[in-house]
């Protein structure tokens, strides 16, 4: 057992997940890196603890929970970063690919979060981070499968944030723009681009080869935000994201929170009161 702050990051073999654990390794924290393949542990800093963690496998989630519980007794921050992508119009993406994207991007984050929530509730503290995307805010052509999984992740995170606030558990969503990472290089894409969507597929694949964002800069911004307990629900991580936030009028968050409090009639729960003071 240790009183040292503990952080678990999923999807750490490359990209933003690897950049996050590299950044966190320089802090006085106990860092756990979730990897689908433990062979990728050679890429991690020496003081980062690798865990085999395919977020679609319940037994690996439970094993990670048991390891952290036995070694630390608590988890301060859970960063749901694992993700995969698929590029193509809805008509052409096979149903098994759609399900696989949702299994990793949405259901994986849900089940990993649900596993660690009891520990955080018992400790009356914690932070749950969802690494989303601008695709979680805007559905682009040939990006619909990935976008739908991230839209679902955003809804999960938003509702969860109001459910667990009373236990001093903060939920944060980070929305990066495009990065030239393995997420795009390994994305599913049609084996044959011929047919009625040929132009769309070619254009979408050309777009996904880009991505000028800096994953190390994004990781630094996320780590900085972890130390801001009163921060907003959603964070834009680059200039493109800030532009999208402005167009969609996602700030101030207080306007959206007022809507949620009024529409749900559950402000008393959100505020941590024991019962509805109005007796409804």
Three state DSSP letters for the chain:
CCCCCEEEECCCCCHHHHHHHHHHCCCCCEEEEEECCHHHHHHCCCCEEEEECCCCCHHHHHHHHHHHHHHCCCCCEEEECCCCCECCCCCCCCHHHHHHHHHHHHHHHHHHHHHHHHHHHHHCCEEEEEECCHHHCCCCCCCHHHHHHHHHHHHHHHHHHHHHHHHCEEEEEEECCCECCHHHHCCECCCCCCCCCHHHHHHHHHHHCCCEECHHHHHHHHHHHHCCCCCCCEEECCHHHHHHHHHHCCCCHHHHHHHHHHHHCCHHHHCCCCCCCCCC
Residue 82, classified by CB atoms within 10 Å of its CB into exposed (0-12), middle (13-18) or buried (19+), is buried
Q: Are residues 124 and 172 in the same domain?
A: yes
Q: Are residues 173 and 255 in the same domain?
A: no
Residue 125 lies in a domain: yes
Q: Are residues 256 and 120 in the same domain?
A: no
Q: What is the pLDDT of residue 1?
A: 67
Task: Tell me the two tokens of residue 203.
Answer: 């254009």
Residue 187 lies in a domain: no
Residue 207 lies in a domain: no
Q: How many domains does the chain have?
A: 2
Residue 128 lies in a domain: yes
Q: Are residues 143 and 274 in the same domain?
A: no
**146 is an active site residue:** yes
Q: Are residues 52 and 109 in the same domain?
A: yes
Task: Tell me the two tokens of residue 75.
Answer: 């988890």
Q: Are residues 129 and 257 in the same domain?
A: no
Q: Are residues 12 and 60 in the same domain?
A: yes
The rounded Cα 174 to chain-centroid distance in angstroms is 7
Residue 1 lies in a domain: no
Task: Tell me the two tokens of residue 252.
Answer: 């101030």
Q: Are residues 126 and 265 in the same domain?
A: no
Q: Are residues 164 and 33 in the same domain?
A: yes
Q: Are residues 257 and 229 in the same domain?
A: no
Residue 234, classified by CB atoms within 10 Å of its CB into exposed (0-12), middle (13-18) or buried (19+), is buried
Residue 64 lies in a domain: yes
Instruction: Choose, from 32, 146, 162, 235, the residue flagged as catalytic.
Output: 146
CA distances from 241 to 176, 203, 221, 249 (A): 6, 22, 13, 12
Residue 28: domain span: 6-83+93-179+212-242
Residue 202 lies in a domain: no
Residue 199 lies in a domain: no
CATH of the domain at 70: 3.40.50.720
Q: Are residues 53 and 71 in the same domain?
A: yes
Q: Are residues 164 and 225 in the same domain?
A: yes
Q: What is the pLDDT of residue 280?
A: 55
Q: What is the pLDDT of residue 193?
A: 72
Q: What is the pLDDT of residue 212?
A: 57
Could you read off the pLDDT tens digit of each residue along the chain, which spans 280 residues? 667 899 999 999 999 999 999 999 999 999 999 999 999 999 999 999 999 999 999 999 999 999 999 999 999 999 999 999 999 999 999 999 999 999 999 999 999 999 999 999 999 999 999 999 999 999 999 999 999 999 999 999 999 999 999 999 999 999 998 765 567 677 888 887 778 999 998 888 887 655 557 889 999 999 999 988 788 999 999 999 999 999 999 888 888 999 999 999 999 999 999 888 877 5
d(CA 135, CA 144): 8
């Amino acid at each position: 057992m240790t009183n040292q702050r503990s952080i678990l990051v999923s999807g750490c073999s490359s990209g933003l997940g690897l950049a996050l654990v590299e950044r966190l390794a320089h802090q006085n924290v106990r860092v756990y890196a979730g990897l689908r393949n433990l062979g990728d542990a050679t890429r991690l800093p020496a003081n980062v603890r690798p865990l085999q963690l395919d977020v679609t496998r319940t037994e690996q989630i439970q094993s990670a929970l048991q390891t952290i519980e036995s070694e630390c007794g608590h988890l301060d921050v859970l960063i749901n970063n694992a993700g995969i992508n698929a590029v193509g119009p809805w008509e052409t993406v096979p149903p098994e690919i759609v399900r696989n994207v949702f299994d990793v991007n949405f259901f994986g984050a849900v089940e990993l979060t649900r596993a660690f929530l009891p520990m955080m509730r018992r400790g009356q503290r914690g932070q749950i981070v969802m690494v989303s995307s601008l695709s979680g805010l805007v559905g682009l052509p040939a990006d619909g499968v990935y976008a739908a999984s991230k839209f679902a992740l955003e809804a999960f995170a938003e509702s969860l944030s109001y459910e667990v606030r009373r236990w001093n558990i903060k939920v944060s969503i980070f929305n990066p723009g495009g990065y030239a990472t393995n997420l795009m290089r390994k994305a599913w894409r049609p084996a044959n681009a011929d047919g009625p969507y040929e132009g769309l597929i070619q254009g979408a694949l050309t777009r996904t080869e880009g991505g000028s964002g800096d994953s190390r800069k994004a990781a630094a911004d996320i780590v900085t935000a972890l130390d801001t307990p009163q921060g907003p629900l959603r964070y834009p991580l680059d200039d493109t994201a800030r532009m999208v936030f402005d167009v969609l009028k996602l700030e101030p968050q207080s306007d959206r929170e007022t809507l949620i409090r009024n529409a749900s009639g559950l402000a008393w729960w959100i505020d941590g009161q024991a019962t509805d003071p109005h007796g409804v």
